[in-house]
Amino acid sequence: QVHLVESGGGVVQPGRSLRLSCAASGFTLSSYTMHWVRQAPGKGLEWVAVISNDGSNKYYADSVKGRFTISRDNSKSTLYLQMNSLRPEDTAVYSCARVTSAGRWSDAFDIWGQGSMVTVSS
Amino acid sequence: DIQMTQSPSSLSASVGDRVTITCRASQGISNYLAWYQQKSGKVPKLLMSAASTLQSGVPSRFSGSGSGTDFTLTISSLQPEDVATYYCQKYNSAPFTFGPGTNVDIK
Q: What value does the mean pLDDT take over residues A40-51?
A: 98
Cα–Cα nearest to B40, from B79, B9, B5, B86: B86
| CB-closest option in A106, A107, A112 to B43 | A112
Q: How many residues does chain B have?
A: 107
Beta-carbon separation of B98 and A62 below 8 A? no
What is the pLDDT confidence band of residue A41, given thresholds at 50, 70 and 90? very high
Q: What value does the mean pLDDT take over residues A15-33?
A: 98
pLDDT in tens, B19-68: 999 999 999 999 999 999 999 999 999 999 999 999 999 999 999 999 99
Q: How far is CA A65 from CA A22, A74, A90, A102, A106, in A?
A: 20, 23, 12, 26, 20
Q: What value does the mean pLDDT take over residues A1-21?
A: 98
Q: Report the C-alpha gap between B66 and B52 in whole angstroms.
A: 8
pLDDT in tens, A72-106: 999 999 999 999 999 999 999 999 999 999 999 99
Residue B8 has what pLDDT?
98
Q: Is B38 on the interface with A (CB under 8 A)?
A: yes
Residue A108 has what pLDDT?
98
Q: Report the C-alpha gap between A49 and A37 in whole angstroms.
A: 7
Beta-carbon separation of B46 and A62 below 8 A? no
Residue A10 has what pLDDT?
98
Mean per-residue pLDDT of chain A? 98
Residues of chain A numbered 53-92 and touching chain B (CB < 8 Å): 59, 61-62
| CB-closest option in B55, B92, B98 to A47 | B98
Residue A26 has what pLDDT?
97
What is the pLDDT confidence band of residue B72, given thresholds at 50, 70 and 90? very high
